[in-house]
Amino acid sequence: MESVAATPKYNLNDEQEKKLILREYRALLRSLKPKLKPGDKELMRQAFEMAADAHKTMRRKSGEPYILHPLAVAMICVEEIGLGVRSTICSLLHDTVEDTDITLDDVERVFGNEIARIVDGLTKISTIIDSSASQQAENFKKILLTLTDDPRVILIKLADRLHNMRTLDSMKREKQLKISSETVYVYAPLSHRMGLYNIKTELEDLSMKYLEPESYKEIARKLAETKRERTRYINEFIRPIKDKLEKGNFDFDLYGRPKSIHSIWNKMKKKGVAFEEVYDLFAIRVILTSPAEKEKEDCWKVYSFITDEYTPAPERLRDWLSNPKSNGYEALHTTVMGPQGKWVEVQIRTKRMNEIAEKGLAAHWKYKEGANDESRFDKWFQQIREVLSTQDTDSVDFLQDFKTSFLTEEIYVYTPKGDVKMLPVGSSALDFAFSIHSAVGSQCIGAKINHKLVPISHKLRSGDQVEIITSGKQKPNEDWLNLVVTAKAKTKIKDSLKEDKRKIADEGKYLVQRKLENYGAAYNQHNVDVLTAFYKLASPLDLYYQISIKSIDLKELKDFQLLGDRIEPPKTVKQAVEHKSDAASAVSKKDAELIIFGESSDRIVYNLANCCKPIPGDDVFGFVTTGKGLTIHRTNCPNAAKLMANYGHRVVKTKWVKNKEISFLTGLKIIGLDDVGVIHKITNLISGELKININAMTIEAKDGLFHGNIRIYVHDKEELDELVIRLKKLPGIETVDRYDTEAS
């Protein structure tokens, strides 16, 4: 439910604002009513008054009173996540310690230790651990540390993020990009992992609205246009199934729902198809009211009714009844061939399963009371705890590892004794070995999968039975890091490599000491740091290691200056470097005409990112790279989400200035029918009619189809768009797509 506060009320007087705030507060109390125990109402009032008073002088970007935000977050916690009174109090207070004069001690004094701990978990890190590490990643790490103490921290955080995304319109464009990237990179996968599918979908759609505005509007428009015909189709599809269920005396709900904009867009990208060809634009849901002991049986009965009526695609059956996902999701999914030759996805689940699917973790607790099995959530938290406790890596690496280990879908594999292990998709036999024990992982030399010998790099599939083969002589090496995806395996391999590196580096340490003393300098921290910086290495350990393996021999030491017993780097090298950068800026003077930054309209030297090859007219942002100055990326660059989510503080607002003198290299991928003269038509259009320079062209024809890659120089996006439209009109041309990677 969208909070009333989401629509900015700029021109209200104090009296009206007070009324609005009270109305929101009363709505919140009404929602909580079934959960209120004696004394709770009093506590709620204290929390509300404490927050309202603390935020009384603050306003949000949209101009509305700040307290409406905590109220809206609390409402999401109650209505959409199903949390209770204590979580609601925490949501009301979630910004007070960070933004106002209230301290954690105040919160603890009034509300006790448990609530103070959650509020602390929600308070971002104020003192940043290491300025070069990304603040975002650090904050996130802190949230995860509290997650394993009390998962409610994450659930409130997700509610906070959802309300921020719903009210993102009043933010500046670069803020919108940064927040949306972070959302799609971390918070959407996290809500999926917490089993909150509706929230995950809404977060992805809202992020896309800001990151890919054109595609978003286009798909939304097409969905609206096809709504009537979709509804007609769903009704036709449902009719025979409804009859069967009624005859079988089932108590059920049956309805269709369109797929989210983001998932349709993902399908279009992944499969390279147009909107019209995304076959399962909608899913049909059957929700049964069934007693606990008959749930499974009833779901399978309904499955047989549906597949009697429509033919299923056997490879698309997903049975999460026998093996629920680790976030507790249970259901039966199948895709069947419906009328008019359209594929339709059908999801079958019971009321209880549906509540778990929509309310995730919170519903899971509700049903867990009294059950004594250790839940999959608990196992998942245990794994996270294990990794966090041994974590000394840089936060950004950590965030990347966390994403691949804990936020992807999982597969189930079996040990030789038949125990089930859950691993993220993409895991190798080596990941499995480390999941059993770090000693087994470190000594792994191969594996038998379903009794067949495979290398340690072998990717596992759901249902594999895996036996690990070890040897006392084996030990991890650098290449292993590319063979694993789980955080546990990565951490253990890095630890082992560090240990080896330390042993080798000891020799180098002794050499550095001897050389410095021979030169008349002291062996101390300052001098070692100067040498490390001079050779552009990350740490003294790397310096010692490079010297041990003879990559560096310190012969440059003779050029250093000696001040007492301290060394200073040689001046000559520095000047050479500065001189070089002058030359570089002279070369790019002409390019620099192109871009205006920030508010001050300065023209700045920059370079274009190779990963996405931006051209004028693309939606872009500037990114300050260490050592390379400013790099321009497209906002839909494959690396954009990662950069903006991790290093938001280095993102600079950027826009283009028209400049017709400079052309930019970009590429098009063309697929079509290999007809006579088709190549001539293409080149004639590009160079003859549109006068665009071709830089390179490769065409491969096979079995009546041709694949062409053409690299061209264009001035801006308008010119490129015009070319794409004209190419698509040529007879026999199937698809025309821009590609940007260096590799292509």
- Inform me whether the pLDDT recorded for 484 exceeds 90: yes
Calpha distance 597→601 (Å, rounded):
5
CA 25 and chain centroid, separation:
33
Q: State how many domains the chain has.
A: 5
The neighbouring-strand residues paired with 346 are 284, 334
At 291, is the pLDDT very low, low, confident or very high (cuts 50, 70, 90)?
very high
Residue that is last in its domain, among 333, 368, 403:
368
The whole-number pLDDT of residue 6 equals 38
Higher local confidence (pLDDT), 243 or 620: 243
Question: Average pLDDT of 393-413?
Answer: 70
Domain that holds residue 241: 220-368
- Inform me whether the pLDDT recorded for 301 exceeds 80: yes
Taking Cα atoms as reference points, which of 620, 614, 623 lies closest to residue 643?
Answer: 623
- CA trace torsion 413, 418, 421, 424 (10° rounding): 0
Non-local CB neighbours of 682 within 8 Å, separated by 6+ positions: 670, 708, 710, 727, 730, 733
Residue that is last in its domain, among 545, 569, 593:
569
Calpha distance 650→643 (Å, rounded):
9
The neighbour count for residue 506, using CB atoms within 10 Å, is 12
Active site residue 95: no
* CA angle, 339 then 340 then 341, to 5°: 90
At 142, is the pLDDT very low, low, confident or very high (cuts 50, 70, 90)?
low
- Inform me whether the pLDDT recorded for 431 exceeds 90: yes
Is residue 679 domain-shared with residue 645, that is, in the same domain? no
Calpha distance 198→645 (Å, rounded):
22
In a domain, 453, yes or no: no
Is residue 560 domain-shared with residue 706, that is, in the same domain? no
Is residue 511 domain-shared with residue 605, that is, in the same domain? no
CB 88 within 8 A of CB 37: no
pLDDT tens digits, one per residue of 712-735:
888 888 889 899 999 988 888 888
In a domain, 356, yes or no: yes
Q: Which domain CATH number covers 120?
A: 1.10.3210.10
Q: What percent of the chain has pLDDT over 70?
A: 82
- Inform me whether the pLDDT recorded for 80 exceeds 60: yes
In a domain, 583, yes or no: yes
Is residue 560 domain-shared with residue 699, that is, in the same domain? no
The segment with the largest mean pLDDT, out of 299-303, 380-384, 701-705, is 299-303
Mean pLDDT value across the chain: 81
The whole-number pLDDT of residue 246 equals 92
pLDDT tens digits, one per residue of 352-401:
888 888 777 666 665 554 444 456 666 667 677 666 666 555 556 666 66
The whole-number pLDDT of residue 303 equals 94
Specify the amino acid at residue 309.
E
At 637, is the pLDDT very low, low, confident or very high (cuts 50, 70, 90)?
confident
Which tokens go with 318?
């997903």
Taking Cα atoms as reference points, which of 599, 596, 531, 540 lies closest to residue 566?
Answer: 531
- CA trace torsion 94, 98, 101, 106 (10° rounding): 50
Q: Where are the alpha helices (DSSP H) in 123-226?
A: 135-149, 152-166, 173-182, 188-193, 197-211, 213-225
The whole-number pLDDT of residue 634 equals 86
Question: Average pLDDT of 13-28?
Answer: 87
* Strand, helix or coil for residue 523: coil
- Inform me whether the pLDDT recorded for 442 exceeds 90: yes
The whole-number pLDDT of residue 279 equals 60
3-state SS of 394-428 is: CHHHHHHHHHHHHCCCEEEEECCCCCEEEEECCCE
Question: Average pLDDT of 319-340?
Answer: 86
Taking Cα atoms as reference points, which of 483, 492, 467, 462 lies closest to residue 326?
Answer: 462
CB 239 within 8 A of CB 289: no
Locate tokens 């972070």: which residue?
182
Taking Cα atoms as reference points, which of 516, 504, 578 lies closest to residue 541?
Answer: 504
Specify the amino acid at residue 734.
E
Most distant CA atoms of the chain, gap in Å: 97
In a domain, 489, yes or no: no
Is residue 682 domain-shared with residue 730, that is, in the same domain? yes
CB 409 within 8 A of CB 439: no
Active site residue 253: no
The neighbouring-strand residues paired with 709 are 669, 698
Is residue 74 domain-shared with residue 170, that is, in the same domain? yes
In a domain, 733, yes or no: yes
* Strand, helix or coil for residue 259: coil
pLDDT tens digits, one per residue of 168-208:
988 888 888 888 888 888 888 888 878 788 899 999 999 99
Q: Would the pTM count as exceeding 0.75?
A: no
At 590, is the pLDDT very low, low, confident or very high (cuts 50, 70, 90)?
very low
Active-site residue, from 98, 251, 722, 737:
98
Is residue 364 domain-shared with residue 253, that is, in the same domain? yes
Give Cα separations from 171 to 191, 241, 266 (angstroms).
23, 48, 26
The whole-number pLDDT of residue 223 equals 86
Question: Average pLDDT of 259-270?
Answer: 84
Which of 406-420, 449-463, 672-686 has the least mean pLDDT? 406-420
The whole-number pLDDT of residue 458 equals 93
- CA trace torsion 214, 218, 219, 221 (10° rounding): 140
Is residue 360 domain-shared with residue 290, that is, in the same domain? yes
Taking Cα atoms as reference points, which of 438, 458, 462 lies closest to residue 447?
Answer: 458
In a domain, 452, yes or no: no
The neighbouring-strand residues paired with 444 are 470
CB environment 234-253: b (16+ within 10 A), e (fewer): beebbeebeebbeeeebebe
Is residue 15 domain-shared with residue 139, that is, in the same domain? yes
The whole-number pLDDT of residue 75 equals 94
In a domain, 431, yes or no: no
Residue 125 DSSP label = P
Locate tokens 């995950």: which residue?
200
DSSP 237-254: HHHHHHHHHHHTT--EEE
Which tokens go with 61?
């970007």
CB 441 within 8 A of CB 492: yes
Residue that is last in its domain, among 537, 569, 601:
569
Is residue 71 domain-shared with residue 174, that is, in the same domain? yes
Calpha distance 463→455 (Å, rounded):
18
Residue 708 DSSP label = E
In a domain, 399, yes or no: no
- Inform me whether the pLDDT recorded for 447 exceeds 90: yes
At 611, is the pLDDT very low, low, confident or very high (cuts 50, 70, 90)?
confident
Specify the amino acid at residue 520.
G
Calpha distance 621→718 (Å, rounded):
19
Calpha distance 732→739 (Å, rounded):
21
pLDDT tens digits, one per residue of 213-264:
988 999 899 888 888 888 888 889 999 999 999 999 999 999 887 778 888 8
The neighbouring-strand residues paired with 710 are 668, 697
At 658, is the pLDDT very low, low, confident or very high (cuts 50, 70, 90)?
low
Side-chain-side CA neighbours of residue 640 (13 Å):
27
Is residue 610 domain-shared with residue 627, that is, in the same domain? yes
Burial of 128 per CB tally in 10 Å (0-12, 13-18, 19+): middle
Is residue 171 domain-shared with residue 315, that is, in the same domain? no
Question: Average pLDDT of 282-307?
Answer: 91
Active-site residue, from 2, 99, 105, 689:
99
Q: Which domain CATH number covers 350?
A: 3.30.460.10
Calpha distance 534→567 (Å, rounded):
11
- Inform me whether the pLDDT recorded for 347 exceeds 90: yes
Q: In what order do the strands lie in the sheet with 602-603?
A: 602-603, 595-597, 651-656, 620-625, 629-634, 606-608
Q: Are strands 318-319 and 311-312 parallel, antiparallel or unpaired?
A: unpaired
Question: Average pLDDT of 404-413?
Answer: 75
3-state SS of 456-488 is: CCCECCCCCEEEEEECCCCCCCHHHHHHCCCHH
The whole-number pLDDT of residue 162 equals 94
Which tokens go with 652?
């600079």
Calpha distance 410→421 (Å, rounded):
10
Calpha distance 672→682 (Å, rounded):
11
The whole-number pLDDT of residue 9 equals 42
Q: In what order do the strands lie in the sheet with 466-470?
A: 452-454, 444-449, 466-470
